[in-house]
Amino acid sequence: MTPRPIALRGFILDAPTRHAARGIPDGAILIENGRIAARGTFSEISKLPAAADAEWLGGPDCAVVPGLIDIHAHIPQYPFVARIEESLLPWLKRYIFPAEKNFRAAEARAFAPFFFESLARNGTTLAVLYAAIHEDSAHECFAAAEASGIRAIIGKVMMDRHSYGDLEPDKILPVSIEQTRRLIQRWHGAAGGRLEYAVSPRFAVSCSAEMMRAAADLAREHGTWVQTHLSENHLEIETVRALFPEFPDYTSVYEGCGLLGPKTILGHCIHLSPAERAKLRASGSIIAHCPTSNLFLRSGTMPWDTIVEDGIPFGLASDVAGGPELSMWRVMRCALESQIARSFSTPCRIPSPAEIFHQSTQGAAETLGKGGQLGTLDPGKEADAVLLDLSEIIPSV
């Protein structure tokens, strides 16, 4: 039986390009069989034959936007938001590694459904996520994602240096690869393609070159995503320089291990040199821009205008718990404010709100190869949309 059509009424807002947003003040979209069948004014849509049978949701006090996209956050870290430390490495050691160590299967089973519900409540319908190091715990995260109906790219972190895992040093690499392979086989492409796997070597500080090479091989073999962190903090960058003196810079470490490419998502990328940015551009690698985290952990401000000029694909991200909130509205606002703050000391182009909204919707969808499927409210796309009751949320957005 074909499902009953759904019609969403409200201020229809999306941003197909980074140059402008589009709005229909009292508009509507009609959804048939999970796809957007029509977009227009309320008066146009309500005259369509299918609209008479449709379940109507929303109204003049509502807004309809594409589902928001968060391309970098950590599931086990959400209960540990707002833990102040002077910078990244002490924060990881004091709060984050202990939190992830304790995020075993039982904790994941109890917590992950709440995490995915929280994403939905914040309007996020596609998220790229890290689980903890434990295989069974990552499995529970995938199961919760499947049950929630969200679209997600998830991976279990891999670390073989300063690891909080409980394996003997000589077992870490082969076991981590085997665990990752099993998770890929079970979950990559599951839930009708809504779930995908990201091979997730944490960052070069906590991974040997052997582990990063093996991770890259595994991702290539199975066609999965890769996610890691790059150039977030000065002490981190110095540590990588000391660990890998044979490479000229941090980005070259990942390049040398085969980790760069169009399915690689690199968190932060604040302090890159022109040569490093050229490597990202040439490889098609994607930046996850995490403005709330970059301020909270005092890491710096990513040069938005330079990244755009260089043509490096990027999307916005909450980086919970480096960023204190899952809300992509807060992340978008912080992206704007942090570029304004940056402009006080460095002359730079400040992105418009429409450009920032684009990078959290269609722009992010394009970087993830899903721009034809979601990201705007155009007819033909999947009905990946959020209905906001503005009378409920003002002034908290």
Q: Does 88 bind ligand GUN (CB under 6 A)?
A: yes
Shortest Cβ contact with ligand GUN: which residue? 322
Rounded CA separation 185/209 (Å): 24
Which of 298, 308, 244, 234 lies closest to 272, judged by CA?
234
Nearer to ligand GUN, 216 or 266 (CB): 266
Nearer to ligand GUN, 19 or 93 (CB): 93
Scan for tokens 């002359």, then name that residue. 347
Position 138, amino acid: A
Query: Which residue from 58, 267, 313, 324 is in contact with Zn ion, where contact means CB under 5 A?
Result: 267
Q: Does 319 bind Zn ion (CB under 5 A)?
A: yes
Stretch that binds Zn ion, among 121-129, 212-220, 254-262, 317-325 (CB under 5 A): 317-325
233 backbone φψ class: left, alpha, beta (φ>0; ψ -120 to 50): beta
Q: Does 293 bind ligand GUN (CB under 6 A)?
A: yes
Nearer to ligand GUN, 92 or 199 (CB): 92
Stretch that binds ligand GUN, among 88-96, 161-169, 172-180, 238-246 (CB under 6 A): 88-96
Please return the burial class of 82, using the count of CB atoms within 10 Å of its CB with bins 0-12, 13-18 and 19+. Answer: exposed
Q: Does 334 bind ligand GUN (CB under 6 A)?
A: no
Residues 338-367 that bind ligand GUN (CB under 6 A): none
Q: Does 229 bind ligand GUN (CB under 6 A)?
A: yes
**CB neighbourhood size of 294 (10 A):** 24
Stretch that binds Zn ion, among 207-215, 218-226, 264-272, 276-284 (CB under 5 A): 264-272
Q: In terms of DSSP H, where are the helices of 257-369?
A: 274-283, 291-296, 304-310, 328-345, 353-360, 362-367
Rounded CA separation 332/339 (Å): 11
**Sites of contact with ligand GUN (CB under 6 A):** 74, 88, 92, 96, 202-203, 229, 232, 293, 319, 322
